[in-house]
Amino acid sequence: MKRMFSKSLLSTYAVILVIGYFYFRDSLVTTSVAGSALLFGLPLAMAAMVGILCERTGVVNIGIEGTLLFSAFLGFFIGAISKNLLIGLASALVGGIIMSLLLAVLTVNWKMDQIIAGTIINILAAGLTSFFYKQGYALPAIFPRWNIPFLSDLPFIGPVLFTHGPLTYAGLILIITLWVGLFYTRWGLRSRSIGEYPSSADAAGIRVNRLKYFNLILAGGFGGLTGAYLALELVGSFDRGFSAGKGFTALALMIFGRWNPLGALGAAMFFGTAQAIANQLMITGVVNIPQPFINMLPYVLTIAVLAISAGKVRPPAAAGRPYEKENS
């Protein structure tokens, strides 16, 4: 069922591309639309992985927005001050992990209400990044494009998939790795089991809270990578409120993709493609869809999907509840 859903999303994506192709009858335009769809969609997909990792292990994370903001902030400023992109990348990863450690302490150790914990992360990140924000810093460069030899020469697929910066490749590879990891490895089975039924996972000898910590740190790494991708590769600058709601969109995509990495990737590409096509249509002046309506599409669709498929879209059963050992 889950697979079918992500497949249907991916096939929708394919259909849209085909329609786009026939619409423009122009390989150059189609290629550029598909390429920019990837650029719109990938950061959202990567951010959705943060949510998937957390919720599959039983922790609701509405602090993705704050995680992105904080890690992009650290990545940009430390990268700019040290004039070294790799140091910037490392700091962004650390920033993401700091935020997820905070979430772990609040929810695993202190058993706080997880939604409030996420809210704290968002508000704290907004406060920190605006207080320490300084104008007049610039990165020495952004991560350069790596055209992968041979593959980038392929027609259509080459320019769309294989002419990006290193963090784009890293993101794509990690998303697929996460999907394999979650569904085909021991770690994945254990993680999902504590997200569904922690007490029997515990009875089977899994150390629930330790694994939760591990996965939350991993999620923070994903968040940090997303922040770095946005600040150091895609945009190359930082401003107050830089994440601009991407963390919340990611939450929507996580649900839309049914807590499955490939599903979320498909959903993100669907939105990215919609946005890219709309932009293209506006540039060519075919139609004029006001930008706000394109921006709200993911949110409207998420509500619609949840409302229609109520009871079928099922979150991990233990997401939101701290785990307390019985008789301890």
Partner 1 sequence: MSHLKSAITPIMALIIAFLLGAVLMYLQGADPLLAYQSLFYNAFGTSAGIAESFGKATPLIFSGLAVTVGIRAGLFNIGAQGQLISGALAAAWAGHRFTDLPTVIHLPLSLLFGITFGALVGAISGALKAYRGVHEVITTIMLNSIVLQLAEYLSNGPLKEEGQIIARTAPIQESAVIPTVFNLPLGFFLGLAMALIVWWIAKNTTMGFSYETVGRNKNAAWYAGISVKRVTIGAMLISGGLAGLGGAIETQGVVGRFEPAFNAGLGFDGITIALLGRANPLGVIPGAILFGGLRGAGPNMQFDAGVSPDIIELILAMVLFFVTAPLITKWFRLKQNNQVSVTSGWGN
For position 312 contacting partner 1 by CB under 8 A, the verdict is: no
Q: Please, what is the minimum distance in Å from the beta carbon of residue 128 to partner 1? A: 6
Helix or strand (DSSP H, E) at 147: strand 146-147
2 contributes a contact to partner 1 by CB under 8 A: no
Q: Which of 2, 29, 101, 113 binds partner 1 (CB under 8 A)?
A: 113
Using CA atoms of 52, 217, 117, 40 in order, give the dihedral in degrees to the nearest 10.
Answer: -50
Instruction: Report if residue 181 touches partner 1, rule: CB under 8 A.
Output: no
Q: Is 10 exposed, middle or buried (0-12, 13-18, 19+ CB in 10 A)?
A: middle
Q: Is 116 helix (H, G, I), strand (E, B) or coil?
A: helix
Return the structure tokens found at 160. Answer: 């769309």
Please identify, using beta-carbon distances, which residue of 149 and 292 lies nearer to partner 1.
292
Stretch that binds partner 1, among 22-30, 91-99, 179-187, 290-298 (CB under 8 A): 290-298
Residue among 14, 300, 324, 325 that touches partner 1 (CB under 8 A) = 300
C-alpha span between 309 and 317 (Å, rounded): 17
Which of 86, 116, 138, 203 is the binder for partner 1 (CB under 8 A)?
A: 116
Q: Which residues of 150-171 are buried (b: 16+ CB within 10 A; e: fewer)?
A: eebeeeeebbbbbbbbbbbebb
Which of 114, 191, 215, 243 contacts partner 1 by CB under 8 A? 114
**Footprint of partner 1 on residues 79-98 (CB under 8 A)?**
none
Copy the structure tokens of residue 201: 């996972």
Binding to partner 1 (CB under 8 A): which residues in 232-261? Answer: 245, 248-249, 251-252, 255
For residue 176 the two structure tokens come to 């697929």
Say if residues 266 and 10 touch (Cβ distance below 8 Å). yes
Q: Is 203 in the site for partner 1 (CB under 8 A)?
A: no
Does 120 bind partner 1 (CB under 8 A)? Our answer is yes
Among the listed residues 293, 197, 231, the one whose alpha carbon sits nearest the alpha carbon of residue 69: 231
Nearer to partner 1, 155 or 292 (CB): 292
- Contacting partner 1 (CB under 8 A), which of 62, 108, 262, 278? 62
C-alpha dist (Å) from residue 185 to 179, 189, 190, 214, 297: 10, 6, 9, 15, 35
**Piece of 29-37, 164-172, 269-277, 317-325 that binds partner 1 (CB under 8 A):** 317-325
Alpha carbon distance 228, 223 (integer Å): 9
| Residues lying near partner 1 in the complex (CB under 8 A) | 60, 62, 106, 110, 112-117, 119-120, 123-124, 126-128, 130-131, 133, 245, 248-249, 251-252, 255, 290, 292-293, 295-296, 299-300, 302-303, 306-307, 310-311, 315, 317-321
